[in-house]
Structure 1
Amino acid sequence: MFKVIHTSDWHLGQHFYTRHRKNEHQQFLDWLLQVIAREQVNALVVAGDIFDTSTPPSYARELYNQFIIGAQDLNCTLIFVAGNHDSVAVLNESKDLLKHLNTHVISQVSEKTEDALLLLQDDSGTPGLVVTPVPFIRPRDVLLSSAAQSGLEKRHQLGEAIKAHYQQLIEQARQLQQAQGLTLPVLMTGHLSALGVSQTESVRDIYIGSLDGFPASDFPNADYIALGHIHKAQQVAGNAHICYSGAPIPLSFDELNQPKSINLVCFEKDKLHSVEPVAVPCFQAMKKLKGNLNELEAQISGLDKETSIWLSLEVTEQDFLSDLQQRFQQMTENTAIEILQITRARKHRREVLADDYVETLNELTPMDVFERRLALEAFSEQDEKARIARLKTLFSQIETTLEQDSEPDGGSAP
């Protein structure tokens, strides 16, 4: 039995409103090492978004390095594949050094066979699995752009190019096996949006203006396809061998109702044997509460005051209250409870038209403000709507960079 753990979307260094996630990530990585040891896992595959930004803070890099060191006594091959959040330059800094620590880092699409194909061995030194680690594919990696092409043509061309790239890799994997007289299962990775999956608000579009989603039917006939980018664990189009493992910790409040897990993938002889989700423990209590002021106060008073809990509050009252944030802060004073987000419940469109509501900046995120400014413009053509999507993505990236610049490199909370 050859065992692989499939995980993705760690987002080390994430800045979550006013808090960092160092403690949660540290506990997750410690727990993951325990699972690897307990299950005697042969390989770990991280399918992209190791870091949250292209400029991760020093403590995030330390978590990454310390995890690799901690795995050295476990006889487990580590495979890190870049996602759209990851910097090629950052991953390449230690790539060559990590090869000597039984760790493979795939930072970008490469024509080198040693990066495109990995032949993994089991504890006895016998070949047990072929891995084709495909990182996040940028359009420039697989095709040449033409100014004369329409948006639809570019979308189609990119999809076909990614499909051809996968097909080329599966053929190379078969050729490798034929050359060595082997019959082994093949595991492929990917970091993209597949069609027919459920996303969350913390997932950023990565093919704006071009590829909406990659069809499951366009993946090659591999034994298991380990995907990253979507934070909700799920199969793709009902295919038990094409899976998103999901993010191991909630990266937004709307992910709280989603079970967090990693996939334990087992191969026997030359085929897939089983895919078993392993539930990830909760390392930071988080809750999303909704109601009017009295209802919210009652809900907050019912929480354990000694337990660290991060709250998102949705206020159903539409009256203008200038001291809203101060009221809630008083409710949690001298407790371990922290309120990270306060929003207003959205009214029905007719109600909004009939009753103009003035919001305060304390109730809005920077993206909320940006979207309200965009709403003042008239965008009707398809190209203009695509431009809105691109602008939102760029604004989100700038927002993340500014938050990261303001965060200290040390481990203490800001």
Structure 2
Amino acid sequence: MRILHTSDWHLGQNFYAKSRQAEHQAFFNWLIEQCQEQHLDAIIVAGDIFDTGSPPSYARSLLNQFIDQLQNYNCQLIILAGNHDSVAMLNESKALYARLNSQLIANVSQQDCHDFNDQVITLTNKQGQSSVQLCAVPFIRPRDVLVSQTMAEEKNSKATNLMTAIQSHYQQIYSAAEQKNKSLGKNLPIIATGHLTIVNASVTDSVREIYIGTLEAFPASAFPNFDYLALGHIHQAQTIAKKDNWRYSGSPIPMSFDEAKREKSVVLVEFTETDKQAKHSPSRIELLTVPCFQPMQSLKGNLEQIKQQLDSLVTTDLKSSQKIWLDIEVDSSDYHSDVQKQIELICADYPVEILLVRRSKQKQIKAEIHSQESLDELEPEQVFAQKLAEAGLEQADEVKLNQLFKLSLAQLNLAETELEDGLDNVNNIDSSPDHKEKNKINSASQGELL
């Protein structure tokens, strides 16, 4: 059986006010070609289908068109939600996608936690034979696996409890897959998905850190011994825990300028062993390089050095009418009040488009097009990063403020979760007969005081 592992599509991303629609369309066209050439039996998308919870209509259309095209190749599609995805929005299409040989798992519900078989999907090859058991785990939110906790509990205790709960969830779903094998009278490979940060994973600028309660990263040792682990969230392709069969596929297109020089890929995984073997390992794991659909470059130095770097770019083979997107970092020693205008004049005769100009000390000078980016298009982390850059602080002070901001954001997210749980409890109490009678007495007393 041949499976393609990909993740972090981020459909609908607004990249410094530039649309990624053309790139994503080109990626889907390429993916359909791979489906045909590689005779794929299944495609697994390990989270972050969309870039926001309310993606633009064109992004939804791209996904729907891809699913429609996939019907011509008898290839199953399994879509897992990530931290960027809206559970409610994805679930709107769940029943429809199921009719199109596509399974969508948007969240881990409390009901799922009592019946883990709902999260175990038996994948079949093109001949209709059961070939792999998939433990389909999306991004796990604290409320999915934890009961409400008091504010008095220590931060470390909460993180430990959450890690234990996630570990327990994976162990129970692994056991459910083993039980499903037993009921089928087979010994199929057991693979799993995940959308989270693993301890020691290498991240890039575009990865927005996940704070699940107070848990920042999950240890690889806490996973069961899956035959393949398809991970999402980290945009850089890499193996985990020195295991070739536990991987992040990375994003298919660069999501930030620091990813531009890295080769993008998807993972082709093949199982050929018979189900009679005690343990399975993929017979083939191969990275399929995704073509670059939009050239991007970062230039650094003084104005003269930037001009020299621009001269070298003209030798790059570009598609017709395609411009290179630029992130330009100007040496602070060559910084003037009119640097934006000078950069624009230097770049005028080159096949480039300036998206970002910034000073080497991280003080960003937004390019004219970038300044049009509205506040509602930004995440809190991005807004804070921009304001911090504009402050022109020393690096040590920036690091301290960043740490405080991340801690405050994590505590705020946790408080919101606990507040939701508290409101649910209050609503339950308010609906009781005894509490209603007390409210009447209190109201009458307040009336007398007034």
Bin for the TM-score computed over the shorter chain: 0.7 to 0.9
SS of residue paired to 2:332:
coil
Residue 228 of structure 1 contacts residue 245 of structure 1 at CA under 8 Å; is this kept in 2? yes
2:295 alignment partner in structure 1: 285
2:186 alignment partner in structure 1: 182
Matches of 2:86 and 2:181 in 1, distance apart?
32
Residue 214 (structure 2) pairs with residue 205 (structure 1): no
SS of residue paired to 2:236:
coil
Q: How far 1:210 sits from its partner (Å)?
A: 1.0
1:353 alignment partner in structure 2: none
SS of residue paired to 1:318:
helix
Residue 308 of structure 1 contacts residue 338 of structure 1 at CA under 8 Å; is this kept in 2? yes
Q: How far 1:334 sits from its partner (Å)?
A: 5.8
2:65 alignment partner in structure 1: 66
Residue 120 of structure 1 contacts residue 130 of structure 1 at CA under 8 Å; is this kept in 2? yes
How do 1:389-404 and structure 2 match up within 5 A? Answer: 389-390=409-410
Residue 323 (structure 2) pairs with residue 311 (structure 1): no
* Higher RCO by CA contacts (8 Å cutoff, separation 6 or greater): 1
Q: How far 1:205 sits from its partner (Å)?
A: 1.2
Q: How far 1:391 sits from its partner (Å)?
A: 8.8
Matches of 1:18 and 1:72 in 2, distance apart?
34
Greater fraction helix: 2
Matches of 1:3 and 1:187 in 2, distance apart?
13
Residue 12 of structure 1 contacts residue 25 of structure 1 at CA under 8 Å; is this kept in 2? yes
Residue 322 of structure 1 contacts residue 360 of structure 1 at CA under 8 Å; is this kept in 2? no
Matches of 1:102 and 1:359 in 2, distance apart?
47
Structure 1 residues 25 and 329: CA distance shift in structure 2, 3 A: same
Q: How far 1:254 sits from its partner (Å)?
A: 0.8
Larger Rg: 2
1:398 alignment partner in structure 2: none
Residue 46 of structure 2 contacts residue 194 of structure 2 at CA under 8 Å; is this kept in 1? yes
2:242 alignment partner in structure 1: 238
Residue 151 (structure 2) pairs with residue 142 (structure 1): no
SS of residue paired to 1:54:
coil
Q: How far 1:346 sits from its partner (Å)?
A: 2.7
Q: How far 1:314 sits from its partner (Å)?
A: 1.1
Q: TM-score, normalised by structure 2?
A: 0.79
Partner residue of 1:218 out of 219, 222, 226? 222
Residue 51 of structure 1 contacts residue 85 of structure 1 at CA under 8 Å; is this kept in 2? yes
Q: How far 1:107 sits from its partner (Å)?
A: 0.4
Matches of 1:208 and 1:75 in 2, distance apart?
37
Partner residue of 1:371 out of 361, 384, 388? 388
How do 1:113-124 and structure 2 match up within 5 A? Answer: 115-124=118-127
Q: Which moved more, 1:296-305 or 1:10-19?
A: 296-305
Matches of 2:412 and 2:358 in 1, distance apart?
20
SS of residue paired to 1:207:
coil
Residue 51 (structure 2) pairs with residue 56 (structure 1): no
1:352 alignment partner in structure 2: none
Matched to 2:198, the amino acid is: A
Matches of 1:11 and 1:381 in 2, distance apart?
28
Structure 1 residues 79 and 361: CA distance shift in structure 2, 3 A: closer
Matches of 2:345 and 2:336 in 1, distance apart?
15
SS of residue paired to 1:159:
helix
The C-alpha deviation readout for 1:128-171, integer Å capped at 9, x for no partner, is: 11111100000110011312211100111110000000000000
Structure 1 residues 71 and 86: CA distance shift in structure 2, 3 A: same
Matches of 2:267 and 2:364 in 1, distance apart?
43
Q: How far 1:124 sits from its partner (Å)?
A: 1.5
1:263 alignment partner in structure 2: 267
Residue 211 of structure 2 contacts residue 410 of structure 2 at CA under 8 Å; is this kept in 1? no
SS of residue paired to 1:134:
coil
Residue 170 (structure 2) pairs with residue 166 (structure 1): yes
Q: Which moved more, 1:383-392 or 1:291-300?
A: 383-392
The C-alpha deviation readout for 1:379-404, integer Å capped at 9, x for no partner, is: 9899956534549999xxxxxxxxxx
SS of residue paired to 2:28:
helix
1:411 alignment partner in structure 2: none
Matches of 2:64 and 2:77 in 1, distance apart?
12
Structure 1 residues 300 and 247: CA distance shift in structure 2, 3 A: same
Q: What count of residue pairs does the alignment treat as equivalent?
A: 383
Structure 1 residues 278 and 40: CA distance shift in structure 2, 3 A: same
Residue 115 of structure 1 contacts residue 133 of structure 1 at CA under 8 Å; is this kept in 2? no
Residue 48 of structure 2 contacts residue 233 of structure 2 at CA under 8 Å; is this kept in 1? yes
Matched to 1:55, the amino acid is: S
Partner residue of 1:129 out of 110, 127, 132? 132
SS of residue paired to 2:205:
coil
Residue 51 (structure 2) pairs with residue 34 (structure 1): no
Structure 1 residues 178 and 359: CA distance shift in structure 2, 3 A: closer
Structure 1 residues 118 and 335: CA distance shift in structure 2, 3 A: same
Matches of 1:12 and 1:171 in 2, distance apart?
34
SS of residue paired to 1:196:
coil
2:448 alignment partner in structure 1: none
Unaligned ranges ≥5, structure 1: 348-357, 395-414
Structure 1 residues 118 and 392: CA distance shift in structure 2, 3 A: same
Q: How far 1:93 sits from its partner (Å)?
A: 1.1
Structure 1 residues 142 and 21: CA distance shift in structure 2, 3 A: same
Q: Which moved more, 1:109-118 or 1:360-369?
A: 360-369
Structure 1 residues 195 and 127: CA distance shift in structure 2, 3 A: same
Residue 59 (structure 2) pairs with residue 44 (structure 1): no
The C-alpha deviation readout for 1:243-301, integer Å capped at 9, x for no partner, is: 00000000000112322100001112242222111110000011111110011122223
1:408 alignment partner in structure 2: none
Matches of 2:299 and 2:364 in 1, distance apart?
19
Matched to 2:311, the amino acid is: S
Partner residue of 2:200 out of 196, 199, 221? 196
Residue 246 of structure 1 contacts residue 262 of structure 1 at CA under 8 Å; is this kept in 2? yes
2:98 alignment partner in structure 1: 99
Q: Which moved more, 1:321-330 or 1:185-194?
A: 321-330
Q: How far 1:18 sits from its partner (Å)?
A: 2.0
